[in-house]
Amino acid sequence: MTTSRSQSFETAMPCAKENHRLGASNNPAAVGLRLDSSAGLGEDIGGMPRPERGCRITGQEGAKYMVVRGIFIMPRWAFVTLCVAPCLAQDTRGTVLGRITDPSGASVTGAEIRLVNTATGVASTANTNEAGNFIVPNLLPGPYTANVERAGFKRFVRQGIEVRSGERLTLDVTLEIGAVTDAITVTSEAPLLESSTATVGQIIDHRRLTDLPSPSASVIFQVALTPGVTPLVAPGGNFAPDREGDSNQFAVSGAPSGTNQVMIDGNPTDIRGSITLHAIPEVVEEVQVQTTPIDASAGRAIGAFVNMIMKSGTNRFRGDLVYSYIGRTLTAMDFFTRRNVYDPASGPPTEEKKKRLWPGGVTKRYRAAVSGPLFIPKLYNGSGRTFWTFGFEAMTSALLTPQTTTMPSLEQRTGDFSRLLAVGSQYQIYDPATITPAAGGRFSRQPFAGNIIPASRIAPIARQLLEYYPLPNVPGSADGLNNFSYPNVSPQTYDAQMGRVDHNISAAHRLYLTITRKYHDHNYDPLRTKAYSSVMDRRQHTISLSNSINVRPNLLLDLRYGVMRYGDQRFSKTRGFDLATLGLPASLVNQLDRNYTTVPRLAINGIFTLGGGAQAGAASTYAPYTYHDVVGQAMHLRGNHTLRAGFELRVNQQSNTNLGNLTPSYSFAETWTRGPLDNSPIAPFGQGLASFMLGLPTGGSIDKRDTSAATSKYHAFYLQDDWKLSRKLTLNLGVRLDFERPTTERFDRTAIGYDFFAPNPIQEAARANYARAPIPEIPAASFRTTGGLIFAGAGGNPRGLWNTDWNNLAPRIGVAYLVRPDTVLRAGYAIFFAPLGADNVAVYQPGYTATTSIVPSRNNGVTFEATTQNPFPDGLREIAGNSAGMATFLGQAINSLRRDMRHPYMQRWSASIQQALPKRMMFDVAYIGSRGVGLLWSQALNAVPAQYLSTSPVRDQRTIDYLSQQVPNPFASLTQFTGTTLATANVPRSQLLRPFPHFAAISRNARNGFSWYHALQARLEKRLSSGFTMTASYTWSKSMDATTALNEPDDVPYRSISSFDRPQNITLSAMYDLPFGSKGSRLAGPRALSQIVGGWSIQALYIGQSGAPIGFGNIIFNGKIEDIVLPNSQRTVDRWFNIDAGFERNNARQLASNLRTFPLRLSGLRTDGMNCVNLSLFKTFSVTEQVRFQLRAEATNAFNHSMFISPPNTTPSSTLFGTLPPSTVQSNLPRRVTVGGKLSW
């Protein structure tokens, strides 16, 4: 006879690790694992099923814990406890272990436990030892049925056990005395509570990954649905497969963006905070997100640990084919394009105008995912032994992200700036040819009559270069800003492949292999002028091999090796441009490699930047990265302790070929066209463009650069003990030791620091020059040029960039207490160390980069030597390596690496309550706190000392005149300064007051930054039942930090609201299979009717979040700060805050050369927040019993809500003050409807 009962269970269990977990037995001989071919089951071990939904786990690269709980009637004759313990996040397999007892509680020896994978039919078997313990490791994810048999007892059957990747389930069974032919069957449900771990996080299951309307079907985007995760970029095109850097922009529980670790099957795949591959949704089984892992196996990150687990194959051949399409008719206009189209000032909204400003774009995506057993006819049948999964994606896209910027007007191209004077006298342009000495060491200039530059004064090269600038096409502001709108079409192609093979060598030995590949090509020319264009080519390959061996029943060894190769190549489409056509001197052109020269880079203040590597980042770059990762662990189960010891080794190799500005790069500011004095306030717009028209650059440079090849090594060792003190209480104890060997450059082509004590080699010559005309503040005898750069391997110096920090001990402690069957209390504390290494701290190559600066005038504009036509009359500097020693890069801005570098670290603590609710719901509320210690921030070491800066609340012209007064330059005659900004006859007094006057600037990473974070995080989860499932989360938080100086001389960072503080965050996701058409539901009827009304499902996703705090610069404000904020009803893109609240807007009264007192950021004044609703509607047709076809329609930003996350203009003297700046675009994409189909079998 067979008795079937529904029985509830609670979970509570010790812990384990990676793919294969060990048994609880103390007698190795008593626990066996064998294959079972009875009842038509597979003959070999290890089916690789597609994991179904079920038990809930949280984890990644650290602990995975989980609690299974059901609502049931507890019978007298059987008691079963099922639980999940923490495991290493890289693991993709699971383990079931437990203890078999009789009704009196005595151990049952020799009982047979057989776990059958219901997806593959593969059975794994073990026997209990004399203590009644058993273990079944190396289980592929999926649904299982457990059979427990022993002569003299009724057979026990538990159905619906969900084994998920990396988790450890405990199955404790009390057998009832009786005949083995009698069976007691218990059906379990997926767990709700997590009573064995304090780890904070969640699991995103396969259906959510494939069916929720994520932007661009992004897997990584759904990380934002986790409490404590703050997305910093708007949901939209930032999450398309071709986007990398933006897609990992999440701040997590007080840790800034770029500090998360993203993995695929446990292998790290991110570079400097950017992901390198968007996983194909159909081949990802689940995403494990851990925001606070209380497990020592997690390390080398202070943010979240995100692990994307690939699906395993089964004995059935399965597949999905997906096609999606987005076109112009399915896409709404963005806010600014719509405004420009319907702006009557630029003409009626004709169809031609619409097509010009909004030509539309088309995105087509093709995805395929197939899996099954490995079968080679007549050679190999891998059914029940070897399984594979393969995914493919291809995309062609012409994404529109419309932008508005500023181009020279038709009048300005002829030298006519008269319209600016109608706006205000502050727009007056002054003639550099009229310069004359003035009192106090100043120089004066006369204005251009009528603000018009005579045609004879316009440089011929300026006329040629103006041809690359499109004419304005929209009215813009009163002073001509924001006068050009362009669709910014970004055509690109993308394809990726992901594959996994699982192989079972024996019952105790299993392997899996994961391979990924990505190609991404981007051909960019948004202005249809090659002067702002580029080609980008990205490649990514990874391979990861995991090997798990049961050495003996209570000892499991896991070893994984992974390698990632990533390459990023970019170059300007004007590469090969002949500079001689611009009239540049042959002496310059002949020194340059004509294969790589481009249109010169033109950076004109207030005008769109063109040329050179303006879009590509450099004339040509190629940066390959290779990362190796080795992880090993031994796990031993002893009594109530699950003990693990492991190590991790990473080798990061990064090469870089960056030609920089191989062609002249010009900057045009207000230096030569401001007036009436040379230190008068500059015009809000126009003076920089006038300087360009006159052919007088104010700066610029040209580069010659060497390559680099950096390597660093990271080591970690850890111990973890998950101690089951009782059925209700679990203690997690761990400790991790991290240390990272310093980055080295293969040929020592790097500086490693600054010598702050030795005199610079030029000191005696400089002191002699200075003594001829000293300034009163520094007597001639006190003038020093102390210090200079030191180089790797030179003069006995070490090769590494810093000294190894050995003191990185990271404790982990957590406790979970099952108060009652439906309530769990959890608390934890952990320390995480941030990485350094080649992937975070780059080599620094002064001397191996020869930068020749444009020095237009050596006498403050009285005469000009360098012009746009002849930018480098003295020739070009050559690469000297470290041969100049401490005299390297004199007169330039440098960076000083720290020899005493220390790893920043994050302390994080949590306390939470989980409560099970009716209808398969669970509510979790937690307090999360964190404290960042030793955070790095950029400190200015060569600032003008604070005692010389003004403390006046208004503009202090006397101090401005005093510091900007030109005085004799003691470095002018020294050849080491040729081609630098300190090669002029005079310098501002402020330069000689600097601590290191022989350098323009010196910056260094200070390590006294800190942060703190407090949050209430809540989550409500409804498991799938009656076709409905949902999750909702809410986070109320405050994030503060001190990682920025308010004033340059400060050596302590300023305490402020954090730039990534978002006080309110709410997310909601839901999926509902409409109850129509099928038997027993509404509108059931004939098959034809069921095909019409049945198979419908709707999905929804919502994210709402506060905006970022807004900061102003060094401003004068004479009002109440609270008056700056406008009510939401009054806030528009043209007036984001109250510009009349007390700001000093007169250009002539702006502050300079002073100590700032206005706060860094204002907590009460914020940018636009997120408010995004995505909806989708699916209709599924049953083609055959095994084949289904689904029509899909997905609307991202369904209600077409415009978001403006970028801050508004905060320059009081600008006509755009309080409005969104010229470069601002709508932060999210307008509504886009994706239509497509999915064929599944």
Q: Is the pLDDT of residue 1085 over 70?
A: no
635 DSSP β-pair partners: 556, 644
* Predicted pLDDT at 932: 97
Which of the residue ranges 45-54, 304-313, 1051-1060 has the most confident prediction, judged by mean pLDDT? 1051-1060
pLDDT score of 1113 more than 50: yes
Residue 624 binned pLDDT confidence (cut-offs 50, 70, 90): very high
Q: What is the predicted pLDDT for the residue at 75? A: 34
Type of residue at 966: Q
Using CA atoms, how far apart are residues 751 and 845, in angstroms rounded to an integer? 6
Answer whether 27's CB lies under 8 Å from 110's CB.
no
pLDDT at 907 over 90: yes
Number of domains in the chain: 2
User: Among candidates 117, 144, 136, which has minimal Cα distance to 48?
Assistant: 117
Question: Average pLDDT in the 512-524 region?
Answer: 91
- HEC assignment per residue over 1142-1207: CECCCHHHCCCCECCCCCCCEEEEECCCEEEEEEEEEEEEECCCCCEEEEEEEEECCCCCCCCCCC
Domain assignment present for 198? no
Using the predicted structure, report yes or no on whether residue 1081 has a pLDDT greater than 50.
yes
pLDDT of residue 54: 33
Mean pLDDT over 312-333 rounds to 91
Answer with the one of 135, 153, 187 that is the final residue of a domain: 187
Quote the pLDDT of residue 335.
85
What phi and psi values does residue 1103 have, to the nearest 5 degrees? -135, 125
pLDDT interval class at 959 (50, 70, 90) = very high
Map 137-186 to HEC letters.
Answer: EEECCEEEEEEEECCCECEEEEEEEEECCCCEEEEEEECCECCCCCEEEE
Lowest mean pLDDT among 272-276, 959-963, 1233-1237: 272-276
- Would you state the torsion angle of the CA atoms of residues 686, 690, 692, 695, taken in this order, to the nearest 10 degrees? -170
pLDDT grade for 118, boundaries at 50, 70 and 90: confident
pLDDT, average across residues 630-636? 92
* CA 1190 – CA 521 distance, rounded (Å): 31
Q: Is residue 195 part of a domain?
A: no
Query: Positive or negative, the Cα torsion across 368, 369, 375, 376?
Result: positive
Mean pLDDT of 30-44: 30
DSSP per position, 478-519? TTS-S-EEE--EEEEEEEEEEEEEEEEEETTEEEEEEEEEEE
Q: What is the mean pLDDT of residues 405-413?
A: 95
Residue 812 lies in a domain: no
* Domain contains 1141: no
Q: Contact at 8 Å (CB) between 366 and 494?
A: no
**In 3D, which of 983, 999, 744, 749 has the Cα closest to residue 879?**
749
pLDDT, mean over the chain: 86
- Residue identified by tokens 């990802």 is 284
- pLDDT, position 554: 75
Contact 1013, 929 (CB under 8 A): yes
pLDDT of residue 1227: 81
Q: Where are the beta strands (DSSP E) in 683-724?
A: 699-705, 708-724
**pLDDT tens, 428-454?**
999 999 999 998 888 999 999 999 999
pLDDT for res 87: 46
Q: Which residue, of 187, 205, 231, is where some domain finishes?
A: 187
Look at strands 403-405 and 375-376 and give their pairing: unpaired
User: N- to C-terminal Cα distance for the chain?
Assistant: 37
Interatomic CA distance for residues 1225 and 526, integer angstroms:
15
Q: Of 135, 167, 187, which residue is a domain's last?
A: 187
Higher-confidence position of 1047 and 643: 1047
Q: Is residue 169 part of a domain?
A: yes
- Residues 1127-1141, mean pLDDT to the nearest whole number: 93
CA distance 688 to 677: 16
pLDDT value of position 196: 81
Given a contact cutoff of 8 angstroms between Cβ atoms, the answer to whether 84 and 722 are in contact is no
Number of C-alpha atoms within 13 angstroms, CB side, residue 564?
Answer: 27
Looking at residue 33, its pLDDT comes to 29
322 in a domain, yes or no? no
Whole-model pTM? Answer: 0.86
590 located within any domain: no
DSSP string across 884-924: TGGGTTTTSEEEE--TT----EEEEEEEEEEEEETTTEEEE
Give yes or no for residue 40 having a pLDDT over 80: no
Q: Indicate which CATH number applies to the domain containing 115.
A: 2.60.40.1120
Bridge partners of 907?
A: 831, 931
Query: Could you tell me which of 798, 803, 971, 794 has the C-alpha nearest to residue 886?
Result: 794
Which helix (H) or strand (E) segment holds residue 589: the answer is: helix 586-589
Q: Give the lowest-confidence range in 571-575, 844-848, 1004-1008.
A: 571-575
Three-state secondary structure string covering 576-587:
CCCHHHHCCCHH
With cut-offs at 50, 70 and 90, classify the pLDDT of residue 613.
low
**CA distances, 119 to each of 4, 47, 147, 431 (Å):** 22, 8, 16, 82
Peptide bond into 472 cis (omega under 30): no
Look at residue 615 and tell me if it is in a domain. no
Q: Which residues of 957-984 are buried (b: 16+ CB within 10 A; e: fewer)?
A: bebbbbbbbbbebbbbebebbbbbbbbb
Query: DSSP states of 602-651 as a string?
Result: EEETTS--BSTTTTTSSSEEEEEEEEEEEEEEEEEEETTEEEEEEEEEEE
Res 1225 pLDDT > 80: no
Q: pLDDT grade, residue 1079 (50/70/90)?
A: low
pLDDT of 927 > 90? The answer is yes
Distance CA 343, CA 359 (A): 17
The predicted model gives 1037-1059 an average pLDDT of 96
pLDDT on residue 361: 79
**Gyration radius (Cα) of the chain, Å:** 34
Q: Is the pLDDT of residue 720 over 90?
A: yes
CB 967 within 8 A of CB 773: yes
Rounded to the nearest 5°, which phi and psi values hold at 122? -85, 135
Residues of the domain holding 24: 2-187
Q: Is 581 exposed, middle or buried (0-12, 13-18, 19+ CB in 10 A)?
A: exposed
Contact of 395 with 365, CB cutoff 8 Å: yes
Is 461's pLDDT higher than 80? Answer: yes
Amino acid residing at 260: N
